[in-house]
Chains A and B, each alone.
Chain A
Amino acid sequence: MGLQGYLLVSAILFGIGMFGFLARRNAILMLISIELMLNAVNLSLVAFNAYHYNGPNNAGAIFALLVMAVAAAEATVGLALVIAIIRTRQTPEVDEYSDLKE
């Protein structure tokens, strides 16, 4: 199993995440799906680093660390927002959050 194997897993993870983001109505599940997609990207970054990068300092792996940090921040902000909305709306269903539509 070479690079393709990792990329295949990464693509599958990304597809699952995207499906979850589009198909789910629950805001928390959508956030989890986003995390899944982010981790799929991380996986491919690390894989590319291992197989194709010859530079001195493992830039791909460090980039993956950066993505994790961003993902953590994003999850924090996202969850805080979702919890705040759930408290006011009493529902996690994003269909109900349509006050800003045209």
Chain B
Amino acid sequence: MSVESLIALIPALPLVGFLFAVLVGPRIDRIPAHGHDAHGGDHSDDHAGHSGHGGESHDAHEEVDESSFRTIPSEEEQRATSPHAGHADDLANSNGADGVIPGDMNDGRGQVGHVVEGGARPRYRSWWVPTALVAATWAISMVVFVNVVFGGNKYHVSLYEWIGSGTFHVQIAFLVDGLTAMLLLVVSTVGLLVHVYSIGYMNGDRGLWRFFAYLNLFMFSMLLLILGDNFLMLYVGWEAVGLCSYALIGFWYKKPSAAGAAKKAFVVNRVGDFGFGLGIMAIWTALGTLQFDQVFARIGTLDPGMITLIALLLFAGAVGKSAQFPLHVWLPDAMEGPTPVSALIHAATMVNAGVYMVARANPIFAHSPAAMWVVASIGVFTAIFAAAIALTQNDIKKVLAYSTVSQLAYMFFALGIGAWVAAIFHLVSHGFFKGLLFMGSGSVIHGASGEQDMRFMGGLRARMRWTYWTMVIGSLALAGIPILAGFFSKDEILGEAFGRGYYLFWAVGLVVAFMTAFYTFRMIYLTFHGSWRGPRDAWAHVHESAPTMVVPLVILAVPTVLVGLLLGLPPDAGAIHTWLADVFRGAEGLGAGILPGSIAAGAHEGFTFLGLGGLLLLLGATAGTAGIWLAYRWYVRDPDAPARFVAAMPFGLGPGMYAASLNKYYVDDLYGLVWARGGVLVANLLWWFDAKVIDGAVNGAGWIAQRLGGLLRRSQTGRVQNYGLGMAAGLVVVLVAYLVFRA
């Protein structure tokens, strides 16, 4: 079979997996259609002792037959019985961590099934077909990847015309070039590993079939997104991954915080997607086509203002999907979803869609210096902004979430200065090591009985060796320590920034690199070093996770170590530059070095180890090392140091700054005030207008008709002769009028 015919299979297989999981999954797992649980009898002794269902009245209407579950404490009960109920204040979104919910039979309800005392956990099997199909997708993707990257091929496969309406034509067609191949590598590899990981992580969850259905639908959508050869297919994939993201964040839909986070992610993304949709419409209006090669060939003929408008509208979509300031608020909340989802969607793949889209549309952006300036500025600002929040977060997944926002911002920063290849390089390496870190954090949460607050962890190194070492590798990569993936990609971005003359951006990037290393190793030290600070009985349960969870970690550690060496050497001219040369050729020639005071691409000197380049590499590595060293000083050697540092800040600013960072610079509160409260205010105004003005007009019309009718009613005398006289009089009037006016 030729490679071309295989390409269409790449998105098709996960779609089949989705359909299979939806249609057959519940039968495989014997999940009754209407919640009457076939296993009820198996657990009768489990709930025999729980007669007090006091807090559960709100559950009474739910479709699931309550009696077949173990009693699960309501939220209030969880807080009351939680060993550390007091710290719920700043963890409003993480009540899943407040109590360990017995894991089995908790479809849609909450934490993963760890700590199940007594009784065998039901073994759900509906994962295997979806996982096998994703494995096949991975294999095909690798074939395509090798053919594109090493064979130097470029595939353009057109299946059929999807929309043909007047002059509007859209094909279902796939485009695989170097850029798509890089994304294929990340999406299919991390996707497959997350599937395997989920088998262990979601073990015992009644909603397993639902989970794998969503995961496969996500894989389909994401692959459609990166494979499509026109903006409309990109948009369809874009919206579909957003839908899957919504469904998976809210996977445990009975947890109010998860349902709320899902809603928030969907709504915030909608803001950006609205701009994206408008951008696509603008492209069609201006050029009459949506196909990438045609759009990019003709974009230069447009008015510069129009190009800037299109670029900024497209970028609005990227800001939403890739969680950049000011639309970054949804990503940290999205951590309410199961951890495999955080690893796959909210770290390694979907959030990269914005970066991919801007990179794909590089000819459009390269034509507009203003848009490039916006991309770079938002990138630099978000990078340091999110890193500054990650410094103080206590929830392990929140640290990683803000780290993701910050690293994505790094990519936008690279795109904005015209360092296209460096951005994609960072995308690939970040996809691997951040996926690894998230899966590691899931393993930690699993081992720590559902605890997500790092203040109640510690010392896990002793019992979770595999998780510890793989996470250390991922963290070293994130911190930018030499020879690991993040070192090469991050320092390539910094090197390009410096080389092209963006000295301020370079300096900020260096500071962010330092902060990144610091918060990453703060996480490692709080989690794995020191001694256990959680409840004592939970320590007894701390254990290494199942092989299905550990093996993906180990596998992901391999590219985390090797990707930088393989793709990034020598810096500035590594293999990835060759692979992506075609994609960015036009933009490199056109738009690099367009910010004020910058130097055009090619004008700066090539990389030299014993010159400026080497010095910059050294500086980058030093920043990372310094961050790790500081984290070590503060969180291992001298735990009181952070408090002293805060106290020592000049003008007593320390506590305020700490609170601001801990509270995410109050952006959520601001949005709550402006959009939520403001929305209610506007709604009230509109309601008043509706009730008083509109309803007033409608009622007024009725009132007037009633009064007029009252007047006319008097003419109804009931005497036929009167009516007849009226008719005769009318006839006379008509005749007279005719005679008078006929002239």
- State whether A101 touches B720 (Cβ < 8 A): no
A97-B716 Cα distance, complex, nearest whole Å:
13
- State whether B718 touches A102 (Cβ < 8 A): yes
B725 CB–A CB distance under 8 Å: yes
**What sequence of 0s and 1s flags, for each residue 704-733 of chain B, a beta carbon within 8 Å of any chain A beta carbon?**
000000000110111111001100100000
Q: Which of A30, A95, A99, A102 has the most CB of B within 10 A?
A: A102
- State whether A94 touches B720 (Cβ < 8 A): yes
User: Which listed residue (B713, B717, B718, B728) contacts A22, Cβ 8 A?
Assistant: B728
Knowing A18-B728, A22-B728, say if A94 contacts B714 (CB, 8 Å): no
- State whether A100 touches B720 (Cβ < 8 A): no
Name 6 extra pairs, CB < 8 A, besides A101-B718, A102-B717, A102-B718.
A21-B724, A94-B721, A101-B717, A101-B719, A102-B713, A102-B714
Give 27 CB contacts A-B under 8 Å: A21-B724, A22-B721, A22-B724, A22-B725, A22-B728, A25-B721, A30-B720, A94-B719, A94-B721, A95-B719, A95-B721, A97-B718, A97-B720, A98-B717, A98-B718, A98-B719, A99-B718, A100-B716, A100-B718, A101-B716, A101-B717, A101-B718, A101-B719, A102-B713, A102-B714, A102-B717, A102-B718
A98-B716 Cα distance, complex, nearest whole Å:
10
- Among residues of A, the one whose C-beta sits closest to the C-beta of B721 is A22
A1-B322 Cα distance, complex, nearest whole Å:
100
Residues of B within 8 A of A100 (CB): 716, 718
- A residues contacting B by CB (< 8 A) are 18, 21-22, 25, 30, 94-95, 97-102
A98-B721 Cα distance, complex, nearest whole Å:
11
- State whether B716 touches A102 (Cβ < 8 A): yes
- Among residues of B, the one whose C-beta sits closest to the C-beta of A97 is B720
A38 vs chain B, min Cβ distance (A): 14
A36 vs chain B, min Cβ distance (A): 14
Residues of B within 8 A of A18 (CB): 728
- Among residues of A, the one whose C-beta sits closest to the C-beta of B717 is A101
- Among residues of B, the one whose C-beta sits closest to the C-beta of A18 is B728
- Among residues of A, the one whose C-beta sits closest to the C-beta of B731 is A18
- Among residues of B, the one whose C-beta sits closest to the C-beta of A25 is B721
A94 vs chain B, min Cβ distance (A): 4
- B residues contacting A by CB (< 8 A) are 713-714, 716-721, 724-725, 728
- Among residues of B, the one whose C-beta sits closest to the C-beta of A101 is B718
Q: Which of B716, B717, B724, B728 has the most CB of A within 10 A?
A: B724
A102 vs chain B, min Cβ distance (A): 5
Residues of A within 8 A of B716 (CB): 100-102
- Among residues of A, the one whose C-beta sits closest to the C-beta of B712 is A102
- Among residues of A, the one whose C-beta sits closest to the C-beta of B716 is A102
Residues of B within 8 A of A98 (CB): 717-719
A97-B722 Cα distance, complex, nearest whole Å:
13
Residues of A within 8 A of B725 (CB): 22
In the A-B complex, the 7 residue pairs with the closest CB atoms: A101-B718, A98-B718, A94-B720, A102-B716, A102-B713, A22-B724, A21-B724
Residues of B within 8 A of A21 (CB): 724
A17-B720 Cα distance, complex, nearest whole Å:
15
A99-B719 Cα distance, complex, nearest whole Å:
10
Residues of B within 8 A of A30 (CB): 720, 724
B508 vs chain A, min Cβ distance (A): 86
A22-B729 Cα distance, complex, nearest whole Å:
11
A22 vs chain B, min Cβ distance (A): 5
B713 vs chain A, min Cβ distance (A): 5
Residues of A within 8 A of B720 (CB): 30, 94, 97
Residues of B within 8 A of A95 (CB): 719, 721
- Among residues of B, the one whose C-beta sits closest to the C-beta of A27 is B720
A83 vs chain B, min Cβ distance (A): 16
A102-B718 Cα distance, complex, nearest whole Å:
7
- Among residues of B, the one whose C-beta sits closest to the C-beta of A100 is B718
A21-B728 Cα distance, complex, nearest whole Å:
10
A20-B725 Cα distance, complex, nearest whole Å:
12
- Among residues of B, the one whose C-beta sits closest to the C-beta of A30 is B720
A54-B725 Cα distance, complex, nearest whole Å:
37
A101-B717 Cα distance, complex, nearest whole Å:
5
Residues of A within 8 A of B724 (CB): 21-22, 30
Residues of A within 8 A of B714 (CB): 102
B520 vs chain A, min Cβ distance (A): 89
Residues of B within 8 A of A102 (CB): 713-714, 716-718
A32-B718 Cα distance, complex, nearest whole Å:
21
A22-B721 Cα distance, complex, nearest whole Å:
6
Residues of A within 8 A of B717 (CB): 98, 101-102
A51 vs chain B, min Cβ distance (A): 21
- Among residues of A, the one whose C-beta sits closest to the C-beta of B718 is A101
A18 vs chain B, min Cβ distance (A): 6
Residues of A within 8 A of B718 (CB): 97-102
Residues of B within 8 A of A101 (CB): 716-719
B719 vs chain A, min Cβ distance (A): 6
- Among residues of B, the one whose C-beta sits closest to the C-beta of A21 is B724
A4-B716 Cα distance, complex, nearest whole Å:
39
Residues of A within 8 A of B721 (CB): 22, 25, 94-95
B674 vs chain A, min Cβ distance (A): 60
A18-B732 Cα distance, complex, nearest whole Å:
12
Residues of A within 8 A of B719 (CB): 94-95, 98, 101
Residues of B within 8 A of A99 (CB): 718
A102-B719 Cα distance, complex, nearest whole Å:
11
Residues of A within 8 A of B713 (CB): 102
B511 vs chain A, min Cβ distance (A): 89
A35 vs chain B, min Cβ distance (A): 15
A94-B724 Cα distance, complex, nearest whole Å:
12
Residues of B within 8 A of A97 (CB): 718, 720
B711 vs chain A, min Cβ distance (A): 11
A22-B724 Cα distance, complex, nearest whole Å:
6
A95-B717 Cα distance, complex, nearest whole Å:
11
A8 vs chain B, min Cβ distance (A): 16
A94-B717 Cα distance, complex, nearest whole Å:
12
- Among residues of A, the one whose C-beta sits closest to the C-beta of B715 is A102
A102-B710 Cα distance, complex, nearest whole Å:
10
A99-B717 Cα distance, complex, nearest whole Å:
10
Residues of B within 8 A of A94 (CB): 719-721
A22-B717 Cα distance, complex, nearest whole Å:
15
